[in-house]
Amino acid sequence: MTSHPLPGAFAMVDIPGPTLDADTAAHLRKYGVRSVCLFGKNIQSAAQLRTLCADLREVLGEDALIALDHEGGAILRPDFWPFAPSAMGLGAADDVALTQDVSAALARQLRSVGINWNFAPVLDVNVSPANPVIGERAFGADAASVIRHGRAALARYAAGGVAACVKHFPGHGDTRVDSHLALPRVDKTRAELDATELAPFRDLLSVTPAVMTAHIIYPALDDTHPATLSRRILTDLLRREWGFEGVTVTDSMGMKAIDDNYGRGEAGVLALEAGADLVMALGRREAQVETLEDIGTALQNRLDRREMGISLERLHRLAQQYPAEADASLNPLDDAELFRRAWAQGLTAYRDPVAPKPGSRVTLIAHRQPARETVSEAGADAETLARELGQVYEVVLHPFETPDGIDWPAARAAGHPVILATTARHRHPALIGVQPDLHIALYNPYAVLDVDASALLAYGFRPEARAAVLGWLRGEVEAEGRLPFGVK
């Protein structure tokens, strides 16, 4: 451990493509970067990903931290492994052993290629049905459920040799603004925060290797700075009051909540001054360089050397405890049946849905082509849903571009049962009060609060989720999940 570290020791960056090109490798070496976050642009196949991780390890060194958002549900980048259910699907199943098994399998996927840090589990308590960024990424709407399943996930990531990272501290579950797009506030008292948002983080810190910060202002904790830039939150609360000794990493500093209000370089320094160990300096090369250069300058004349040395020790300890080494003996395809069962176990009935008789003719209303939005992948398209539903029914498809363009009289004209499939990340006001004969919620589960119909909730749109829905429509699968949020 050097007494004069390069600025990259305190910054995590992303890289442009599926291979580590010479220019990017030189950039990482120049600034002494030890941590990289991977995205869909970096992933093509298991073999390619294993090679990329090996190349990164060679450049990043013995303290390499290679991270991925690998939560389950819509937050899964590789498309060549079986898909794990979303956290809320597991919360609906409410089977702690199942959450353990799924988390262990997610860890195996990452270990098989050499990724040693997973930005999961989500410990947000999703108390706001209007939350535009968390939703089914949370285990549920009550702290006790989040704690129960969060503990199960953390235990199996640790046993599987992958560092977990809980997020988004102090809690992103009661926001109506996406911090990718703007700076949210949570106006609750400290007592209210203690009972809900803070509870999972506080209760699970002893088994948590790393915490990711939220770009949110909590006036009861700090009325000026978002948590990512707040010393009162990251140092006074997390370190001194609660005694957390693990790694603290910021969420992406390229999100508009930070970038539009503080700027990249200065924000990175402010986060380190607040008590973060690692700044997530993602995005275009110029933005990375701005952050790295400003951190480098601040290391000379502004940042506390003792605190920076402690941060280095924390990061070193994390990387040594969870080495970025691929295990070729692990085969993620072996977990396909586990994930199939897990998705089916989470299926939830809302208002006693009844499936049309198999073999009958039905009208399907579905989004023609859902779009990918910020952190989440795109939902299933209408043609795919119609083709799969065609295994059970004779399907007449009515695709729409946006929900306000649905021609309900035309859809009902033939007199067949009308099935509405919602596959979008966000709820839409045009669906408030509509009355299909059956609603299949294949993404945002809170859409059932808008549509005036009985529904089947799958908590996701992945192939395994759709197979579980088909099983229910055929009468082969029961919807035994528990709705993980209240209905007024």
The residues annotated with a catalytic role in the active site are 251
Kindly report the backbone phi and psi dihedral angles of residue 70, in degrees, each rounded to the nearest multiple of 5, phi listed first.
-130, 65
AA identity, residue 428: H
H-run or E-run covering 31:
helix 22-31
CA distance 97 to 103: 10
- Tell me the pairing of strands 278-280 and 247-252: parallel
Which backbone phi and psi does 217 adopt, to 5 degrees?
Answer: -90, 130
Q: List the structure tokens of 217.
A: 């202002």
Tokens 């770009």 correspond to what residue?
Answer: 215
To which residue do tokens 């009051």 refer?
241
Pairing of strands 348-350, 455-457: antiparallel
Q: Collapse the DSSP code of 391 into the 3-class scheme (helix H, G, I; strand E, B; otherwise coil) and give the result.
A: coil
- What span, in angstroms and rounded, lies between the C-alpha atoms of 462 and 308? 42
Would you call 55 exposed, middle or buried from its count of C-beta atoms within 10 A (0-12, 13-18, 19+)?
A: middle
DSSP assignment of 185-253 equals: B----HHHHHHTTHHHHHHHGGG-SEEEE---B-TTT-SSSBGGG-HIIIIIIIIIIT---SEEEEEET
Q: CB–CB of 2/277 below 8 Å?
A: no
Task: Write out the DSSP string of 78-139.
Answer: -SSSPPPPPHHHHHHHT-HHHHHHHHHHHHHHHHHHT--EE---B------TT-SSSGGGSS
